[in-house]
Structure 1
């Protein structure tokens, strides 16, 4: 298989260097800038004819990024790329997965159509699947979701004797798996959500918690941080002194990272899926084998037959 070319529209991505090394990829060269009226200029400098192109994208706050991404993918195809794939560790527009009120846009499906029309395949990490069983319900291209839990597990293993805390029933799948893998105990809280910024977390297994000297609040994503902050408060009421927080994705909207650090006493650790100050563990070991398998399947036959 020929050496893939790795492109990105955002150079300061913490995942770029380890992913490039893991794939043994050539660094794709391009020029992009804004015209005075705000339109995007883009030019691909690397020869891509007959080559597999991988685009690494940070899709946090995607509205200003999606058009340049489409321009890049279209141009790579126009220049004769053998394939164009998207690695988006954090996949946006998964929240609105149904119509809650008349007239609402189901943006997860619309966004999936946009991405599916631009690239040949998608690899992401722990997308927010709520009402969907898998990404192929809305994406018409092979769309693979990789688990970031092995990377998170590697960090948790460095925090011995910590009680693992899942804020709600949805987090049980992750915190229980991590607890079994690391030999640590875990507790799952009960969450009541009254609105986007109004949640309450209760921890009923007080006997288990009261003996803990340290705890780690674990979730797949920290967005506004309200759930994590409520969980920290619940732990503090039980007397736990050292409280750390860990997640695969650190969105940290509305200065959530600052609020969490002010409320907790331990470290804040997330993966390198999104640029930030708390990128502690690397996702490339989970991503590289999946991407290499996709590229090998393209070389050996029809990608859509391999991933129906």
Structure 2
């Protein structure tokens, strides 16, 4: 038996996953009570001895959710769960993967050590891998990485006429080129110069060659929205059509959505790894496939 234990705010994804598994799975909510002093009291449904406990928790606000998540995992293991698995559609703390200045914490490795201590397995969607090429470089648990490119490509094929896939910077190249190849669309990866957390400049040297197409800005994460807004403004200045922004993880920090609207973005669509937007691109079936492979394939290794 597989029980999906949904952390607060993750009930919809847990329900989607349970549906994909059919009669061999059910859902149990994790209750988190916040005390006035900031501490949390976590309560889980006690597992049966032969139960695989799957905690479903996207990690878009990691400093808030990680302590209750680790408490839930530790409690499930203490109460006898056969395996404790984490489904984290969005995996946090992957950007700071090296020490850029003296004294900085390498948070990607620290966070990986915490999760690896409390979980047997991990399933996530397109983590932000850059200098770290594979999760098993920092995670010691077994893992499966689910790729969103197939569902992003299918959505663009159905929704956008004559798309021009645009990667806003070098880090987006792997997603932009994969999706473009799947739908037979032209692709351009832009050059970005960053002057600070919210100050960026971009260039699009090939824009004039795609004036008859709809720019589809494709990235793994929309966080502040500053990079995409700069790209849209640059394309507008060259007379391009209104752009559509498509991303795997829509963190939408602060005023990101309003910033993109003011920049002239026609539409912003992300997958449902974060939040429950009605127009989100559903990746739950792909996550279920990755989880099924992990649960029923006991060979060691990470993908």
For the criterion TM > 0.5, the same-fold answer is yes
Q: Does 1:15 align with 2:13?
A: yes
Q: Aligned pair in 2 of structure 1 residues 218, 307: CA closer, same or farther (>3 Å)? A: closer
Deviations 1:46-105 (A, max 9, x none): 533220011110211211211111111111111111101001111111111111111111
Runs of 5+ in structure 2 lacking a partner?
none
Instruction: For 1:13 and 1:252, locate their aligned partners in 2 and report how far apart those are by CA, in whole Å.
Output: 20
RMSD: 1.9
- The separation in 1 between residues aligned to 2:211 and 2:189, in whole angstroms, is 14
Query: Would you say how many aligned residue pairs link Structure 1 and Structure 2?
Result: 300
SS at match of 2:255: helix
Aligned counterpart, 2:80: 80
1:113-133 deviation per Cα after TM superposition (whole angstroms, max 9, x unaligned): 100011101111111111111
Instruction: Name the SS for the 1:100 alignment partner.
Output: coil
Aligned pair in 2 of structure 1 residues 32, 189: CA closer, same or farther (>3 Å)? closer
Report what 1:210 is aligned to. 211
Q: Give the match for residue 280 of structure 1.
A: 280
Does residue 1:195 correspond to 2:187, yes or no? no
Shift of 1:307: 4.7
Partners of 1:56 and 1:14 in 2: CA distance: 10
2:71 is matched with 71
Aligned position for 2:148: 148
Which 10-residue stretch deviates more, 278-287 or 52-61?
A: 278-287
Are 1:222 and 2:259 matched, yes or no?
no
TM-score by length of 2: 0.93
Correspondence list, 1:107-122, <5 A: 107-122=107-122
Query: What TM-score does the superposition give when structure 1 sets the normalisation length?
Result: 0.91
Gaps of 5+ in 1: none
Partner of 1:97: 97
CA–CA distance in structure 1, aligned partners of residues 87 and 276 of structure 2? 18
SS across alignment from 1:32: strand
Residue in structure 2 matched with residue 168 of structure 1 by the alignment: 169
- Helix, strand or coil for the counterpart of 1:281? coil
Asked whether the equivalents of residues 10 and 56 of structure 2 are also in contact (C-alpha less than 8 Å), the reply is: no
The 2-side partners of 1:89 and 1:32 are apart by 20
- Whether contact under 8 Å (1:164, 1:218) holds in the other structure is yes
Give the drift of 1:276. 5.1
